[in-house]
């Protein structure tokens, strides 16, 4: 089956690209579409707007699916249906979102009445027919080679790299500025032109800082001149609910750890979230990556707030479970376990796959408490010095004493030595370190979709706190 490449030229997911192994593509805001648009931000796009498909003879067609605003190809309105070839630019509604669709060549022998030309004649026999077949075959081979070279039909790492390149302008580091000092707190990414997604545990400190009169902004990856002031920070209301399992256990990580930051301005790249169908099939082994700003215990705090450059890590989904790590139905299977190396600061990073779909938000890391060798040696040296001093004092006290007194002093000394050995490690000396199992957690992306709908409704109604 041939590949179709979709490039979004304008609209909420501007700059994204995906390659599909299909002979039909539907476009619209409805969940059934191959290429989905946001009904709030992509106004004028119908639930079922347009369709590109290949018929039995191998010809490609574009048809309007009954939209009220119309479908345009290369600036001309499609009234019924139109045969198309090669790259075409489809506009959904007058001045609506534009998408480029790169089609494979029509099958050998297909008639060629296209959007850009007149009727053609198919050659089915003779020397001209053989030449046509050879040319078509060469075109298919060339197209396949182009896809492989560009990482669109081959290696998933190359495809992930391409997705990261497309999305890099939509990633930023969240900074709280107070008393002349800016403190990076996490990662955020554009989920809509004026909204960035992050974790609730990143959004809450921003919300509190704004209430104190401090400033918060998002510094964009690889663009030191682009910063967006945060107008409002909204955590998911479910983040604050206490939950325990049937056996009384706490969840492995806090559910609904997602939040939205409303900004002043418009993001130049908006990331595309995964469909419900993809999330339902998400399972162990699915290739993923994240783009964000890990900072905790890294040299120079891992990021230059004045000129941030995001870090990319790739890996796989290791399991998809409920928040108590158990198998469950889709509605409760909201915890994505993965092996992406991360630490504090990467919180809020988008986790995406090779198709460019964001499937989750990185939220927590399995950590252990650790101490450096130097600090451990210093700690043990202090304990051993205290034990030596206790022994010397006991020896002096025992000089010239009767045996009963010496026995009593020995008992006290042993108790002192034991107590010194049991002194706990100083908390200040302990550092968090990733668990060697490298199993970390992410919130499934549809939790963010829930919050996004709530925020968009609040903004539409002009509710306080949603707009400023």
Q: Is the pLDDT of residue 193 over 80?
A: yes
Distance, CA of 26 to CA of 32 (rounded, Å): 8
Alpha helix (H) ranges present in 257-402?
276-281, 373-398
Question: Does some domain include residue 467?
Answer: no
Check residue 187 and give its pLDDT: 97
Query: Percent of the chain, pLDDT > 90?
Result: 44
Distance, CA of 430 to CA of 422 (rounded, Å): 16
Distance, CA of 200 to CA of 260 (rounded, Å): 8
Check residue 200 and give its pLDDT: 96
DSSP per-residue string spanning 216-258: EEEEETT-TT-EEEEEEEEE-GGGGS----TTSPPPSS-TT--
DSSP per-residue string spanning 36-74: E--TTTSTT--SS-EEEEE-TTS-EEEEE-S-SS-EEET
Of residues 449 and 151, more confidently modeled:
449
Q: Which domain holds residue 259?
A: 165-366+436-461
Q: Residue 111 sits in a domain of what CATH number?
A: 2.60.200.20
17-26, 285-294, 305-314, 374-383: which range is least confident on average? 374-383
Question: What is the chain's alpha carbon radius of gyration, rounded to the nearest angstrom?
Answer: 30
Of residues 428 and 3, more confidently modeled:
3
Of residues 357 and 367, more confidently modeled:
357
Question: Does some domain include residue 306?
Answer: yes
3-class SS at 289? Answer: strand
249 and 321 share a domain? yes
Check residue 152 and give its pLDDT: 42
Average pLDDT over residues 413-427: 81
80 and 208 share a domain? no
Question: 10 to each of 68, 95, 211, how far by Cα in Å?
Answer: 20, 10, 35
314 and 232 share a domain? yes
Phi, psi of 385 (to 5 degrees): -65, -40
Question: Does some domain include residue 135?
Answer: yes
228 and 353 share a domain? yes
Q: Residue 227 sits in a domain of what CATH number?
A: 2.40.10.120
Who's near 440: CB < 8 A, 6+ residues apart? 337, 338, 339, 340, 342, 362, 364, 365, 366, 434
203 and 257 share a domain? yes
Residue 466 CB coordination number (10 Å) = 19
In the sheet with 81-84, reading across from the earlier edge strand, the strands are 35-36, 24-28, 50-54, 60-64, 81-84
142 and 183 share a domain? no
Distance of CA 272 to the CA centre of its chain: 9
Q: What is the dihedral of CA 315, 321, 325, 329, to 10 degrees?
A: -170
Question: Does some domain include residue 416?
Answer: no
Question: Does some domain include residue 35?
Answer: yes
- Among 98, 133, 154, the domain-final residue is 154
Check residue 47 and give its pLDDT: 86
Question: Does some domain include residue 386?
Answer: no
56: nearest Cα among 33, 23, 102, 103:
23
Per residue in 110-167, pLDDT (tens digit) is: 544 444 333 333 333 344 444 444 444 444 444 444 444 444 444 788 999 999 999 9
Question: Does some domain include residue 170?
Answer: yes
Residue 198's DSSP bridge partners are: 259
Check residue 403 and give its pLDDT: 84
- Among 154, 187, 215, the domain-final residue is 154
Check residue 114 and give its pLDDT: 41
Check residue 110 and give its pLDDT: 52
Confidence of residue 247 (pLDDT cuts 50, 70, 90): confident
For residues 172 and 269, is the Cβ–Cβ distance under 8 A?
A: no
147 and 216 share a domain? no
Q: Is the pLDDT of residue 388 over 60?
A: yes
Domain count, the chain: 2
Check residue 437 and give its pLDDT: 59
Check residue 258 and give its pLDDT: 97
Check residue 113 and give its pLDDT: 42
Average pLDDT of every residue of the chain: 83
- Among 123, 154, 185, the domain-final residue is 154
Question: Does some domain include residue 85?
Answer: yes
107 and 231 share a domain? no
Check residue 136 and give its pLDDT: 44
196 and 136 share a domain? no
Per residue in 49-79, pLDDT (tens digit) is: 999 998 888 899 999 888 888 999 877 888 7
pTM: 0.57
Check residue 311 and give its pLDDT: 94
144 and 208 share a domain? no
Of residues 34 and 147, more confidently modeled:
34
132 and 249 share a domain? no
173 and 125 share a domain? no
Q: Is the pLDDT of residue 466 over 90?
A: no
452: nearest Cα among 214, 270, 221:
270
Check residue 1 and give its pLDDT: 62
Average pLDDT over residues 370-390: 78
Tokens of 54: 């290949």
Distance, CA of 87 to CA of 9 (rounded, Å): 13
């Amino acid at each position: 089956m041939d590949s179709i490449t979709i490039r979004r030229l304008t609209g909420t997911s501007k700059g994204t690209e995906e390659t599909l192994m299909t002979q039909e593509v539907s476009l619209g805001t409805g969940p059934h579409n191959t290429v989905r648009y946001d009904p709030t931000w992509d106004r004028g796009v119908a639930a079922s707007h347009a369709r590109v498909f290949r018929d039995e003879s191998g010809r490609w067609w574009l048809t309007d699916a009954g939209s009220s605003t119309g479908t345009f190809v290369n600036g001309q309105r499609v009234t019924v249906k139109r045969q198309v070839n090669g790259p075409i630019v489809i506009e959904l509604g007058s001045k609506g979102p534009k998408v480029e669709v790169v089609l494979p060549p029509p099958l050998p022998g297909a008639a060629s009445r296209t959007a850009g030309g007149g009727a053609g004649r198919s050659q089915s026999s003779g020397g001209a027919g053989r030449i046509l077949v050879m040319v078509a075959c060469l075109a298919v081979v060339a197209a396949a080679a182009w896809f492989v070279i560009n990482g669109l039909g081959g290696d998933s790492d190359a495809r992930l790299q391409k997705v990261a390149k497309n999305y890099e302008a939509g990633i930023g580091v969240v900074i709280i500025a107070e008393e002349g000092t800016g403190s990076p707190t996490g990662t955020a990414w554009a989920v809509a032109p004026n909204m960035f997604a992050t974790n609730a545990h990143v959004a809450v400190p921003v919300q509190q800082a704004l209430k104190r009169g401090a400033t918060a902004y998002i510094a964009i990856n690889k663009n030191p001149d682009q910063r967006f002031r945060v107008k409002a920070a909204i955590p998911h209301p479910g983040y604050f609910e206490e939950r325990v399992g049937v056996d009384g256990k706490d969840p492995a990580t806090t559910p609904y750890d997602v939040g939205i930051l409303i900004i002043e301005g418009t993001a130049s790249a908006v990331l595309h979230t995964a469909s419900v169908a993809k999330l339902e099939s998400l399972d162990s082994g699915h290739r993923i990556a994240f783009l964000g700003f890990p900072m905790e215990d890294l040299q120079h705090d891992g990021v230059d707030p004045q000129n941030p450059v995001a870090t990319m890590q790739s890996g796989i989904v290791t399991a998809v479970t409920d928040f108590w790590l158990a198998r469950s139905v889709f509605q409760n299977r909201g915890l994505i376990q993965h092996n992406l190396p991360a630490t504090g600061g990467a919180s809020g990073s988008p986790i995406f796959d090779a198709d460019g779909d964001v499937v989750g938000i990185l939220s927590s890391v399995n950590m252990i408490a650790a101490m450096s060798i130097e600090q451990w040696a210093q700690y043990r040296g202090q304990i051993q010095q205290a034990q030596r001093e206790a022994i010397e004092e006991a020896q002096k006290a025992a000089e010239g004493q009767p045996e009963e007194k010496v026995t009593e002093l020995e008992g006290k000394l042993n108790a002192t030595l034991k107590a010194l050995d049991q002194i706990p490690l100083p908390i200040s000396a302990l550092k968090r370190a990733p668990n060697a199992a490298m199993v970390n957690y992410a919130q499934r992306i549809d939790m963010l979709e829930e919050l996004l709908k709530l925020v968009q409704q609040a903004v539409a109604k002009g509710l306080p706190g949603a707009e400023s």
